[in-house]
Amino acid sequence: MQYIVLKITRFLYTLTVKVPKHRKKPHLAEILRIFVIMNSDYIYELPLKVRDYEVDAEGIVNNANYLHYLEHTRHEFCEQAGLSFRTMRERGLTPVVSRIEIKYLHSLGLGDSMVSKLAMSRRGPVFVFRQDIYTPSGEPVVKATVDIACYENGRLSRGETLAEAFALYLKQE
């Protein structure tokens, strides 16, 4: 096995590349390309740890808890971006989940650490969060897409107020 350690912002990632004996070892540029793809477009990362009440009798995280991790990441991102849910409510803004698509790739267990990553774009009036959860070694755990619609003062809106608040982070689709 070949190990490469790269330090990016606050997190330390270890990339593990398994190479069969009969195959040529991958070039460093190829490994870095994979690493960049894994981290591309993310605008926010949140380290999390599995708590005892989140696991089932099998000792693995119950599937519904991944939705909580994703939601917690969105809420922390919004607060970090200067628009907490309390502030949104005070301004008459109510973002609501309109669709979630989630793919479970790897199970986590009690005490396991993870990094929840988020990318944000806009498709018309819909705010699209691409959210992925990885183990600290970079193994994908969950890949999800979350669509958010926005109500302003109780009425469905095009989300212009929210778009202004997140202008620095939005990518148009």
Say if residues 80 and 131 touch (Cβ distance below 8 Å). no
28 CB burial (10 A radius; 0-12, 13-18, 19+): exposed
Q: How many CB atoms lie under 10 A from the CB of residue 133?
A: 25
Distance, in Å, from the CA atom of 34 to the CA atom of 20, rounded to the nearest integer, reads: 18
Distance, in Å, from the CA atom of 44 to the CA atom of 120, rounded to the nearest integer, reads: 9
> Is residue 41 flagged as an active site residue?
no
Within 69-124, strands assigned E span: 93-104, 113-123
Q: Which of 41, 56, 132, 147 is catalytic?
A: 56
Distance, in Å, from the CA atom of 156 to the CA atom of 151, rounded to the nearest integer, reads: 4
- The residue with tokens 């004996």 is 21
Q: Hey, which residues are catalytic here?
A: 56
